[in-house]
Structure 1
Amino acid sequence: MIRIPVAAIARKFSLVLCLLAVGVSTGFGQTKNKQPLVVFVAGDHEYSGEQTLPLIAAELERNYGFRTRVITSSPNQNAETNIPGLEVLREADLAIFFLRWRQLPPEQLQYIDEYLNSGKPVMGFRTSTHAFNYPKGHASEAWNAFGERAFGSPPGWGKAGHTHYGHESTTDVSVMANAAKHPILTGVKPAFHVPSWLYHVRPDYPPTDATLLLMGKSVNPDKAAIENPVAWTWTNKAGAKVFFTTLGHPEDFQEEGLQRLTVNAIHWLLAKPVPKKWKGKIDIQVPYRGIVK
């Protein structure tokens, strides 16, 4: 019989415990804590972000090895003054925002401010251009320009010509020729169509040092229309990598091009290789609700 000293067994057991504690692979795979944490923050009145984002989060966990958290306005999408759970941003490796006209209290804004100042990557959808809507003279009024600070979008709705082309319009989307090889555009069709109405962000946004990825052309606009960027990357003043898209109507997410764009952008922002193999179209069947009080 071969006898193994008890002390030797104890030393090996202690080593395994230490490796697990620091997240080093021990042959059983990496510990869960090595997976990036993606935090989704939703509250948008109109576009059902609190329904579409969890479907994306589930796909990231099921097929792409990320941890996720989705936090939403409470008790529902029309609750403008409360998004419980924002403290999780202190643990986040990536924060993704889909907000519209919130008026959060200072203690909740603090967590978002900390995250933006950290220089960690940030991503946003559609109405996050006008995420906050504090009245003139309010102590938090500067937050109305959140979109400009975080994403290089117009500083709120209606400013710098930030409008859209009417709810009866839709949008043709095309890949910018000089960006076709960008990793975020891997597997994205050169052109596709979405139900959402095009946001007008030009001429001042996004910033001149942004990289434009997708351009939108309004179909059946209610006024004279020009082409506008609908997706771009940027580095904001905190040094954070940024991806932003003005798409985000719930039926936009039925388009595989937007799904791939989203998954690719999350990988790119986290300095992960963009998936070479697409895991398949995500089943997102969320109808447009509009603004329901």
Structure 2
Amino acid sequence: MNKRQNTILWALAGIFTLVTGVIPLSLSAAEQESSPLTLQLRSRQQTAEKSGRFHATVKTQKWDAGQVAVIVCDMWDLHHCLNATRRGAEMAPRMNDLLNHMRSQGATIVHAPSSCMDRYADHPARKRAQAIPRATNTPKDIGQWCYKIPAEENGKYPIDQSDGGEDDDLEEHKRWAAKLKAMGRNPGSPWKAQTDLLEIRDEDYVSDNGEEIWSVLEMKGIDQVMLVGVHTNMCVLGRPFGLRQMAQNGKRVVLVRDMTDTMYNPAREPYVSHFTGTDLIVEHIEKWVCPTITSDQILGGTPFRFKNDTRPHLVMVTAEREYDTNRTLPQFCLEQLGKDFRVSHVFANAEERNDLPGIEVLKDADVLLLSVRRRVLPAAQMALVRDFIESGKPVVGIRTASHPFSLNGEQPPAGYLAWESFDHDILGGNYTGHHGAGVAVSVQVSAVGSGHPLLAGVDPARLQGFGSLYKAGPLVASATPLLIGSVPGKDPEPVAWTNTSKYGGRVFYTAMGHPDDFGQAAFNQLLKNGIYWAATMVSAD
């Protein structure tokens, strides 16, 4: 909307005020004063065209709080899913703090509890929204649900929500439905208002109408929008005021990713935890719809986390061109770790081999899973790797992780750093090369490995190495060999072991990791056990 159109609409709104007594756009002190916000917008970009792998990239942007609207999507008082009701109530106090802070900085707050407008018929915030004339540039379909935007055609939707996404215990859900019915609520759609845990002030706006909300934004010249509320995979994405409509109609919209929840049932594909389901939807949004931020960027402290989300954060780093682990490991992580871990992926820069975009995520990691071969890193990136490992946190290495940051003694380019002693200092190995390829590696349990909990459920009779046998011994004194590999005519070599790094961290390493190794249930169990062991967790298996 241009300045002249905006002036005309303001004039019309003023006439409306004189006639009706409603003040649609009264300017409070908060609306007159605004503060700059420094936000870290996270999005995902493909590592290379059609690679199917994505770098998580973060860009710093300055937003004028006075030119920001925060839309609160469907934070209802009650929900047909009891767990959804519980999570909404748990998240609401933090969300209310966010709204209060943004309001105090001059932001516009729009409450959008769909199908609940009767409750607010006499509320000044509802009347303010109704009083605004329709914007002259109202998009054609802004009043409609949006199921997909063109960009999403490039990706695969990550979860199955066809059952509605309820994750309640069945018996508890029956009792909840009966309770709702006894309250006089429809068990299928019990909401009648926004939760009372979120304050609605007179200077806010209340609307569930896409045209009304669009007109509020245009009347106030707002181009920057934050979405909070539920549920990410349904209403937050699809409502007329949701992410898709805002994004495809030109608004600079972001999802506040720690102020949302999904409707996802872990009994449906991809059979991960409820919280991992949310992570997958957030990743989908960052790839195809819009960037995301977290509430701590505004409020300080740390991002909000549900109390039942106790998953450790595993960062998987792949940077090698020999064994295709940038394909096998993400699939392994989804299938084997999705119930108990929060997983972030870091891939090598396809155009610059000695670069790991997004490695900053290590600052928030609990476990490092490494599949890297002969890369040297810029000093800042190597510092992140060293800081993590030298803090004593656990490391899991696979195959080429025995020589991840080594150039075999060659001098790295200026500004880049190697870590030649990584194998000895961290993994506890002594990699000096490998035997010829093409000969299957037979695997046996070592004398000291028998009975080790890390080998639970691993049948060595069903395990062989499809890659060449690494020359990995002798191991350091602190290492415990678990599995021994052998090929005809050569000395046996350790192919899986544990260690305590020189910095005190737990370490599991396996010299296996050929693509065909992942086709063996025994190998997947071994690697899974190793990760759980390193994280001092017990697998549900």
1:245 aligns to what? 510
2:496/2:508 contact within 8 Å kept: yes
Structure with bigger RCO (C-alpha 8 Å, 6+ apart):
1
Matched, 1:183 2:449: no
Aligned to 1:99: 372
The counterpart of 1:125, out of the listed 398, 412, 420, is 398
Question: Aligned pair 1:209/2:478, yes or no?
Answer: yes
**Counterparts in 2 of 1:20 and 1:128: CA distance versus 1, 3 Å:** farther
Provide the residue aligned with 1:288 in structure 2: none
Query: Does the 8 A contact of 1:197 with 1:218 survive in 2?
Result: no
Cα distance, 1:195–1:17 mapped onto 2, change above 3 Å: closer
Give the structure 2 partner of residue 43 of structure 1.
319
Encode CA deviations 1:229-288: one digit per residue, 9 max, x unaligned: 00000111100001001111111111111100111111111111133x3xxxxxxxxxxx
Aligned equivalents of 1:236, 1:126: Cα separation in 2: 18
1:66-77 equivalent positions in 2, closer than 5 A: 66-75=341-350
Task: Identify the residue that residue 286 of structure 1 maps to in structure 2.
Answer: none
1:65 lines up with 2:340 in the alignment: yes
- 2:428 is the counterpart of 1:152: yes
* Letter in structure 1 aligned against 2:328: T
CA contact (8 A) 2:424 2:476 kept: no
Q: Residue type of the partner of 1:123?
A: V
Larger Rg over CA atoms: 2
Specify the code of the residue in structure 2 equivalent to 1:90: K
Q: TM-score under structure 1 normalisation?
A: 0.75
- Once the two structures are overlaid, the 10-residue window that deviates more, 122-131 or 266-275, is 266-275
Displacement of 1:216: 0.2
1:81 aligns with 2:350: no
Query: What is the aligned partner in structure 2 of residue 136 from structure 1?
Result: 410
SS in 2 for 1:243: strand
Q: Give SS of 2:371's match.
A: strand
Give the superposition deviation at 1:142. 5.0
Show CA shifts across 1:36-86 (max 9, x none). Answer: 111100011111111111011111454x3211011110126xx42111011
Coordinate RMSD, CA, aligned: 2.6
Rounded Cα–Cα distance in structure 2 between residues aligned with 1:137 and 1:268: 36
Identity, in percent, stands at 32
- Maintained 8 Å contact 1:74/1:83: yes
Residue 466 of structure 2 corresponds to: 195
Q: Which residue identity does 1:129 align to in structure 2?
A: S
Measure the CA separation in 2 of the matches of 1:234 and 1:52: 25
Distance 1:119 1:20, change over 3 A: farther
Identify which of 140, 153, 164 aligns with 2:434: 164
Indicate the residue corresponding to 1:53 in structure 2: 329
Does the aligned pair in 2 maintain the 1:53–1:70 contact within 8 Å? no
Q: Which stretch shifts more, 52-61 or 249-258?
A: 52-61
CA contact (8 A) 1:43 1:72 kept: yes
Deviation at 1:17, TM superposition (A): 4.3
Check the 8 A contact 2:377/2:417 in 1, yes or no.
no
State which drifts further: 145-154 or 111-120: 145-154
Measured at CA, do residues 61 and 209 of structure 1 come closer, stay the same or move farther in structure 2, by a change above 3 Å? Answer: closer
- The corresponding residue for 1:274 is 539
CA shift, 1:108, in A, is 1.1
CA distance in 2 between partners of 1:19 and 1:31 (Å):
13
Alpha-carbon spacing, 1:241–1:19, altered in 2? closer, same or farther (3 Å): farther
Alpha-carbon distance, 1:209 to partner: 2.3
The answer as to whether partners of 1:57 and 1:69 remain within 8 angstroms in 2 is no
Contact 2:438 2:467 in 1 (8 A): no
Gaps of 5+ in 2: 1-85, 95-168, 173-273, 275-305
Q: TM-score, normalised by structure 2?
A: 0.42
Q: 1:34 aligns with which of 305, 310, 313?
A: 310
Instruction: Tell me how far apart the structure 1 counterparts of residues 321 and 525 of structure 2 sit (CA, whole Å).
Output: 25
Q: Look up the equivalent residue of 1:200 and give its one-letter code.
A: K
Could you tell me how far 1:176 is from its partner in structure 2?
A: 1.8
1:87 CA drift (Å): 0.7
Distance in 2 between residues matched to 1:209 and 1:81, nearest whole Å: 31
Other-structure match for 2:491? 226
For the pair 1:256 / 2:521, whether they are aligned, the reply is yes
Q: Secondary structure at the match of 1:251?
A: helix
Q: SS at the partner of 1:96?
A: strand
Contact 2:437 2:468 (8 Å CA) reproduced: yes
Matched residue SS, 1:172: strand
Deviation at 1:119, TM superposition (A): 0.4
Structure 1: runs of 5 or more not aligned = 1-12, 22-26, 278-293
Classify 1:254/1:19 alpha carbon distance in 2 versus 1 (closer, same or farther; 3 Å): same
